[in-house]
Amino acid sequence: MVGIRSSHAHAAAVGTLLAFSIFTAASAQEIEHKSKEAVKGAPSPTVTQDELTKAAQDTKQFLHTNGNYEQTRYYLGKQINTANVAKLRPAWIFQMDVRESLETTPIIVGDVMYVTTSFDHVYALNAKTGEQYWHYKHKMGPITTYCCGPNNRGVAVYDDKVYLATLDAKLIALDAKTGSLVWETELADPESGYSETMAPTAVNGKIIIGTNGGEYGIRGFVRAYDAKTGKLVWNFDTVPENSVGVWATKDATGKDLHRDIEAEKAQFAKTGDPYKTLGGGVWQNPAVDLKLNRIFFVVGNPSPDLDGSQRPGDNLYTDSLVSLDLDTGKYVCHLQYIPHDVWDFDAVSPPILVDVKDKDGKVIPGVIHGGKTGFVYVHDRKDCSLIRFSEPMVAQENMWSLPTADGVRMLPGANGGVEWSPMAVNPKHSLAYAINLHQPMTYQVQSNPYPDGKLWLGGAFKVIPSEESFGNVTAVNYDTGKIKWQVKTPEPMMGGALATAGDLVFTGEANGWFRAYNAESGKVLWSFQCGAGVNAPPSAYSLDGKEYIVVGAGGNTQIDFKRGNNIIAFTLD
């Protein structure tokens, strides 16, 4: 309760404090230090590009939001494994000031852990003891326009800095040792619907960031900024000036989208290309292939979400996997999952780079993505083309019925399938682990003109109160598309997964349970009640020869799961 109100008071206080600073020589203190050792700052070793590159092999640190540039969330440590996970116990619990939706991935550098909260606070903690080194509170501007909660998914680390993107659409760099602000860059105007909830990605001296705002009629982007100065290096508009595409009548899996192409073409002749307000937010980190020197990311929904009448065409590159050149930001390839989406079925869960079997059984570099549709999509990394899609992980009913004025029922609902939650993989078993929602919704359409940066859904999607909602954890073989195992959960799932070489999969539930599953069978081997929704992706690290699993338990705004403010690190005795 406190954290929420605290944030509110903080937001109000910021404006006032800005005014206050006019009259005082010293500006407001924004960094807290708690322990005696904190006076000296955090013992933050610098992070080299080599360390970032080799993060997949690093069992001591967790340097990327999704573990490594490939985003496998596969941790090579085996100390915690199927034989002993039952003895896993909390090493420490840290309670943060903000008690609100918690989607952060803990990042571990040496023995320092960085976590973030809703409303853009950053904590540096002692990863061994949970003690606080410093606490940075972002001075939020008065105008924020964001969807789905005041979330922040974490920081990027590089050299001697920690990078954060904020709800008021800024990219900032902090001194890793002290938490003080080094530079701040405005990415876009929050009054026009731009916001940031994703974690940045650090690579080759650049900080890569996308934007949110697909519910507000933005024009999305992915950009690279100079890590040292905060200056723009390149920009890629996720919606090109020619967003029409090929007037596709089917989705990537061959299902009819029931588009009225003639009506769309007539609209196009009348109003032209809708690219300026077409949305295309990016919610999660890109995967980076340093050999190909390319990034792979997925793009969110078109604006307005449910009303396609104002946005004729395929609405490129919304609902797509996109690959760019890392140095220049130039387009390389894309694959659109759902052309002209009118269900908010955007691509959100971060793509994963992993070797996959192609149609002939030959092992090639692949990309996989868990969709709101409930499919795991498997691509050829070379040209983004689709090799296969999995069996559906959730029931698919009435797809693709067009939204009506009175509302049409469809399953999955607008949250998926797989929402923003990152999947994990275990390459040894060729398995991807996805967490899903089963949440039927009604889709209503209503046409409204662009409302100047306000919420622009073009209708409403509504949970059906009389129908049951639940979730599942699913293991999918990405070489065959077959489901290996599936465990039903009582609540819809949102958060993320971590797989380990100890043959475990960790993921949390809205009801507070954090569980370890046997990676091959899905058997639950360990559970811990965290007291609030575990709706954040777990991380793993080791210190002094001891492995830890760490996760945030703070609930979720988007589907209103029980809030909390805990970061919990687990270890064996």
Q: What residues act catalytically?
A: 344
4 lines the binding site for other proteins (CB under 8 A): yes
Distance separating alpha carbons of residues 90 and 75, to the nearest angstrom = 19
Residues 400-419 that bind other proteins (CB under 8 A): 407
User: Considering beta carbons, is residue 113 or 376 the nearer one to other proteins?
Assistant: 113
Among 62, 92, 221, 541, binds other proteins (CB under 8 A): 92
Contact mark string toward other proteins, 35..74, x via CB under 8 A: x---------------------------------------
User: Considering beta carbons, is residue 493 or 501 the nearer one to other proteins?
Assistant: 493
User: Considering beta carbons, is residue 34 or 228 the nearer one to other proteins?
Assistant: 34
77 lines the binding site for other proteins (CB under 8 A): no
User: Considering beta carbons, is residue 18 or 290 the nearer one to other proteins?
Assistant: 18
Provide the b/e sequence for 457-479 (b: ≥16 CB within 10 Å). bbbbbeeeeeeebebbbbbbbbb
8 lines the binding site for other proteins (CB under 8 A): yes
Shortest separation between residue 114's beta carbon and other proteins, angstroms = 16
DSSP state of 512: S
Quick one: which segment of 93-101, 271-279, 310-318, 429-437 binds other proteins (CB under 8 A)?
Answer: 93-101
Residues 468-527 that bind other proteins (CB under 8 A): none
Distance separating alpha carbons of residues 510 and 525, to the nearest angstrom = 19
Q: Contact at 8 Å (CB) between 218 and 281?
A: yes
Shortest separation between residue 479's beta carbon and other proteins, angstroms = 38
Q: Which H or E run contains 332?
A: strand 331-336
Among 85, 88, 107, 147, binds other proteins (CB under 8 A): 147
Residue 393's Cβ-count burial label (10 Å; 0-12, 13-18, 19+) is: buried
Q: Which H or E run contains 553?
A: strand 546-553
Distance separating alpha carbons of residues 199 and 459, to the nearest angstrom = 30
Residues 164-183 that bind other proteins (CB under 8 A): 167-168
Quick one: which segment of 72-80, 84-92, 107-115, 533-541 binds other proteins (CB under 8 A)?
Answer: 84-92
Tokens of 130: 């949970």
458 lines the binding site for other proteins (CB under 8 A): yes
Distance separating alpha carbons of residues 300 and 322, to the nearest angstrom = 11
User: Considering beta carbons, is residue 189 or 520 the nearer one to other proteins?
Assistant: 189
Residues 257-316 that bind other proteins (CB under 8 A): none
**Nearest CA-CA partner of 301 in 281, 287, 283:** 281
Residues 423-452 that bind other proteins (CB under 8 A): 442, 444, 446, 448-449, 451-452
Shortest separation between residue 198's beta carbon and other proteins, angstroms = 18
Torsions phi, psi for 2 (to 5 deg):
-65, -45
86 lines the binding site for other proteins (CB under 8 A): no
User: Considering beta carbons, is residue 154 or 190 the nearer one to other proteins?
Assistant: 190
Shortest separation between residue 469's beta carbon and other proteins, angstroms = 10
Question: What is the DSSP annotation of 86-155?
Answer: GG-EEEEEEE-S--S---PPPEEETTEEEEE-TTSEEEEEETTT--EEEEEE----S----SSSS-----
Write down how long the chain is: 573
In the chain, the N- to C-terminal Cα span, in Å, equals 33
**Nearest CA-CA partner of 255 in 65, 410, 100:** 410
User: Considering beta carbons, is residue 316 or 510 the nearer one to other proteins?
Assistant: 510
